[in-house]
Structures are given as C-alpha cells and as structure tokens.
C-alpha cells in the first residue's frame, strides 16, 4: 500500500494543475518505484506457480507474467485508495490477466489445430495412398496403434 501511495503522489503538482485547467489526469507521468515493480513481478511469478497454471511451459508462463505485469500497471489508475489491501487488488488483476492470456492462447492453438487438420485432409485427397499422408494422419489423430496388419 505504501508503494501505491508513493506512485499516486509522484506527480501530484502536475495533476492538480491539470485538474484546475479542466484537463484529464495523465497517469503515464506517474513514476513506478523499483520496489513496486519488483512486487508486481513477484506476485506474477508466485501466481504462475498456482495449481491452475502449473502444467504450462516456462515460455508460456513468462508470457503470462509479462502480460499480467502490463495489466497490473494499467490497472493502477483504477485502484480505489479507500481500501487498504493493495495486494488483493494486484493479485486478482494478475489472476484475471492470466486467464485472459490463456483464452487468447487456446484460441490461437485451436486455429493452428484446425489449419493442420485442413492441410492433412487436403494432402489426403491429393495423395490418398502416400506414406506421408498416412503418417501425418496418424500423428494428428493419435491413432498409432489402429492398424497392426502392416507389421
């Protein structure tokens, strides 16, 4: 909470001047301390080890963490300072960012899967008896043990 208060007050004079002139507050001029940045990184790292996200690759976890840190920084301006549990706010923002990132990830994976399936079907129609077509078809469908007559 202390670091969020420092962030909120880091550009106070400029923001008061803008409010007096009837302009909107520019949150991009506020300064995030190194300590607050490290705290956000630690929250993202710890939540990436939650059981919901444990079976993802390290690369995917790092992508989720960077996306979550970006969303936490963007969400700082929406924090209501009458509440004192900033950790809960940041951890929930991080968790929601992880879920959003994974929905985009699975959408992309489904598109890849559909394109691969379409390519295999097209290959199978042009070269129905080729060994490459059979191999790709088995690899994609996972039916490696469906036909033992060849062995």
pLDDT digits (tens, 9 = 90+) for 62-101: 999 999 999 999 999 889 989 989 999 999 999 999 999 9
Q: Is the pLDDT of residue 144 over 60?
A: no
- The domain tally of the chain equals 1
Split at pLDDT 50, 70, 90, the class of 132 is low
The pLDDT value recorded for residue 89 is 93
The pLDDT value recorded for residue 69 is 95
Split at pLDDT 50, 70, 90, the class of 11 is confident
Please check whether residue 70 lies inside any domain of the structure.
yes
Please check whether residue 127 lies inside any domain of the structure.
yes
Please check whether residue 148 lies inside any domain of the structure.
no
What's the Cα-to-Cα distance from 94 to each of 6, 62, 118, rounded to whole Å? 21, 13, 36
Cβ-contact 140, 117 below 8 angstroms: yes
The pLDDT value recorded for residue 35 is 94
Cβ-contact 47, 71 below 8 angstroms: no
Domain that holds residue 129: 2-141
Task: Encode 46-57: b = buried (16+ Cβ within 10 Å), e = exposed.
Answer: ebbeeeebeebe
Cβ-contact 64, 43 below 8 angstroms: no
Please check whether residue 34 lies inside any domain of the structure.
yes
Measured CA to CA, the distance from residue 109 to residue 97 in angstroms comes to 18
The pTM of this model reads 0.70
């Amino acid at each position: 909470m202390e670091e969020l208060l420092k962030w909120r007050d880091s550009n106070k004079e400029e923001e008061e001047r803008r409010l007096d002139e009837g302009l909107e507050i520019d949150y991009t001029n506020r300064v995030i301390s190194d300590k607050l940045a490290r705290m956000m990184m630690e929250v993202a790292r710890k939540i990436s080890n939650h059981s919901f996200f444990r079976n993802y690759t390290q690369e995917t976890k790092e992508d989720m963490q960077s996306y979550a840190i970006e969303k936490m920084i963007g969400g700082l301006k929406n924090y209501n300072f009458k509440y004192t549990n900033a950790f809960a706010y940041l951890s929930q923002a991080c968790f929601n960012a992880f879920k959003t990132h994974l929905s985009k990830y699975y959408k992309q994976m489904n598109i890849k899967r559909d394109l691969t399936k379409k390519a295999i079907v097209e290959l199978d129609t042009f070269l129905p008896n080729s060994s490459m077509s059979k191999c790709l078809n088995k690899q994609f469908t996972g039916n490696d043990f469906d036909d033992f007559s060849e062995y």
